[in-house]
Amino acid sequence: MVGIILIFALLYVGVMNPDYVTFSKNVFIPVTNVCRNRCHYCGFRRDPDGAEAYLMTPDQVRTLLNKGASSNCTEALFTFGEPSELIHDALAGIGYLNLIEYVADLCRMAIAHGLLPHTNAGVLSYDDFKALKPLNASMGLMLETIASVAAHKDSPSKSPRERLRVMEDAGRLRIPFTTGILVGIGETHEDRLNSLMAIRELHPRYGHIQEVIIQPFVPKQNTPMFNCEPPSTGEMQETIALARRILPPEVAIQVPPNLMSPNLSVPYGASDLGGISPVTIDYITPENEWPALETLGSCVRLRERLPVYPHFVLDKWYGAETEELINKYADEDGFRKC
């Protein structure tokens, strides 16, 4: 069945041969690994009282920002779980009332280091988005799936309705936004189709979706889904082709190159590789190293972008506090200056 669907998707999409594939150069900053969710596939989260739980201090973040700035990065990717009140005492210990207040200061620190913040902050309120918008070039939240899956039964903020609400709030605030789906977490082909349709239906209202990530499930040790099979190459290619067919042409399809080779994803509709870091690992899937840019460049022609996509740069859809840096880094077409 997968093969038949893939054939029909490819008949529509055609074999892709883009002039270039985009990426951004970033430093990955995992602010905290404490999270109220217990997704059955996640190897990143920790309980607040666990030995490996942490909240990065300002000095630790500053060290990473220095490394990113000295390595010619333009993006500071801030990501974390959804700790809610679980890290209240840790935040109080460094002088903050809540995580959004702290992350806002970290974004200011990134800008001072010459890096453009892109914050993946989980489920936020409208007011939280409003507070972070001026300090971010773009923001993001994975939809993951529109379906109710067993992998999310212990994850209160993985409600599809709530995540769509967050994505809509970002649109109302004119925030360039990254979202995506996870493939292989117990959803069906129809669920993937419905998830992509939900994104497609939301985008025209605000025009704010800049890219959709098609990310494969990767089994992690010491998680309930460790023995589950990841999606096959064919399933991924089918989903990439489906996404390219369903989503508007201005919305890029991103497939991380440390999880799937561009040789396998680009011909089926992928046009972006996401953030690639020369200084930090992918903390969500640390077992999958970033390929070197030289290696990727032998597969596809690369073109570097900023964390905010070129058409949003030209339309000035970015946080006011990032404008000076964007003017410094962007060429006349909105890409990274050579």
d(CA 131, CA 201): 26
C-beta of residue 154 within 8 angstroms of C-beta of residue 35:
no
Which residues are CB-neighbours of 212 under 8 A, at least 6 positions away?
178, 179, 180, 181, 196, 199, 243, 247, 251, 252, 253, 254
Pick the CATH number of 15-288+299-324 from 3.20.20.70, 3.40.50.620, 3.30.365.10, 3.10.129.10: 3.20.20.70
Residue 220 has a CB neighbour count (10 Å cut-off) of 18
- Output the pTM of the full model: 0.94
d(CA 231, CA 236): 7
**Extents of the domains making up the chain:** 15-288+299-324
Residue 12 pLDDT? 47
C-beta of residue 90 within 8 angstroms of C-beta of residue 125:
no
Extract the tokens encoding 52: 């490996």
| Contacts for 50-57: CB closer than 8 Å, 24+ residues apart | 55/31, 55/87, 55/90, 55/91, 55/94, 56/29, 56/30, 56/31, 56/32, 57/94
Question: Side chain identity at 301, as an amino acid letter?
Answer: R
Instruction: Give pLDDT tens digits along the chain (338 positions).
Output: 444 444 455 544 545 668 899 999 999 999 999 999 999 999 999 998 888 999 999 999 999 999 999 999 999 999 998 887 789 999 999 999 999 999 999 999 999 999 999 999 899 999 999 999 999 999 999 999 999 999 999 999 999 999 999 999 999 999 999 999 999 999 999 999 999 999 999 999 999 999 999 999 999 999 999 999 999 999 999 999 999 999 999 999 999 999 999 999 999 999 999 999 999 999 999 999 999 988 898 888 999 999 999 999 999 999 999 999 999 999 999 999 98
Q: Which of 235, 277, 238, 234 is nearest to 257 (CA)?
A: 277
Q: Which of 302, 294, 312, 293 is nearest to 338 (CA)?
A: 302
Residue 16 pLDDT? 61
